[in-house]
Amino acid sequence: MLVTLEDAKKLIEKGKVLHIAADESLLEQLPKGNWIAGTTPYFITEQGGITCKDKLFVNEMDCAVEHKISVYDKDNIFDITKDSYSNGITFLVMPFASDVAVYFAKEAPNSGDLLMNPTVGWITGFDLSTDASAKVFDGSSGKSYGDKAVALHICLPDDKIANLGIVNIFNIDEGDTKIEFTEDTLSVKKCLINGKEMFLYDYILENKINTQLPLVADYNGTYINVSIKSVSEEDKTVDLYAPVFSGKVYRFSSPVSDYAVSFAEQLKEFKDLKPIFSCNCILNYLYGELEGKATPPFAGPVTFGEIAYQLLNQTLVYAVVTDK
């Protein structure tokens, strides 16, 4: 829910366990307490998408029977699975373009432990019309970081369990061109197009590919996106917001004519869901013109990357806590 600074302070002073998303100028004014936060001025609320620097989006973790807050860097980020509760959920926030976020993006899919410990969260961002930078906050110490990750580990009651899900409006045509990569990377030059080596840059140019559409890989029926960050004519490099992995087959997504309609179509099956957290991607917000448009039952920060066990792009991520 979107609240005023005063209301957020009251929740903290009551000792509530909170996940918060807001502009840095507001987060700096919060008292110490049981909270973590990340920076973004973009939100999708119950009333629709907004850009807002005078309110904070707060998730109250009423389901927590116990909690702890930990700070990580690139060298120990995968300790999150050691620190998490055996029956719990971990909320993770990492600053955009930080070393820890890049390392997590590349290595998380290789971690079996993450799948045993539901980890959900987001890559924090900033107002794209300014030269601000992304930050994360550890409310227990009051410290903020641009180069570290902060996690809120929640212990759930014995009769409850956490589950994560995604909503991806992008689709692929199985008959479409196969794109494969020879290494795990965030920056691509050459790749295999239907088995033939060529520059991805040339393929995009020659086929007039809309780079607002992500590359999509099929993970056993779940589509996982990789978004294009930039293409460089100078050195024929294509930079990505999440890594591509060798051994996976990618295809460019089929076009999406209306993001809000596509979300509405997919969200029908979730109407009775009561998520404790959700977030959606800044690229969906911008390309899909989601300002003023709601995605019920999901509301939350608009992010520079989404985390559901691993880093995702152009995806709505959610967490639920259900009875066992």
Partner 1 sequence: MDLDLVFKKLIKKQVNYQSDNLGLNLLITRLRSKYAKKPTPDELENCLQEMKAFFSKYSSILQKDIEMLKRL
| Strand 190-193 versus strand 196-199 pairing type | antiparallel
Which tokens is 94 given? 């990492």
Which residue, 163 or 232, has its beta carbon nearer to partner 1? Answer: 163
Q: How far is the CB of 310 from partner 1 (least distance, A)?
A: 7
Task: Check binding of 214 to partner 1 (CB under 8 A).
Answer: no
> Longest Cα pair distance anywhere in the chain, in angstroms?
61
Which tokens is 324 given? 């066992």
Stretch that binds partner 1, among 108-116, 128-136, 174-182, 271-279 (CB under 8 A): 108-116
Give the integer Cα–Cα distance in Å for 117 and 82.
Answer: 9
Give the integer Cα–Cα distance in Å for 7 and 279.
Answer: 21
Which residue, 168 or 284, has its beta carbon nearer to partner 1? Answer: 168
Binding residues for partner 1, total number by CB under 8 A: 22
What residues pair up with 190 in beta bridges, in sequence order?
199
Stretch that binds partner 1, among 6-14, 139-147, 196-204, 217-225 (CB under 8 A): 217-225
What does the per-residue mask of binding to partner 1 show for 279-318, with x meaning CB under 8 A? -----------------------------xxx--------
- Sort 119 into a burial class: Cβ within 10 Å, 0-12 / 13-18 / 19+: buried
Q: How far is the CB of 161 from partner 1 (least distance, A)?
A: 6
Stretch that binds partner 1, among 19-27, 44-52, 206-214, 216-224 (CB under 8 A): 216-224
Prior bond to 297 cis, omega within 30?
yes
Give the integer Cα–Cα distance in Å for 111 and 165.
Answer: 18
> Which positions touch partner 1 (CB under 8 A)?
109-110, 112, 115-116, 118, 161, 163-166, 219-222, 247, 308-310, 322-324
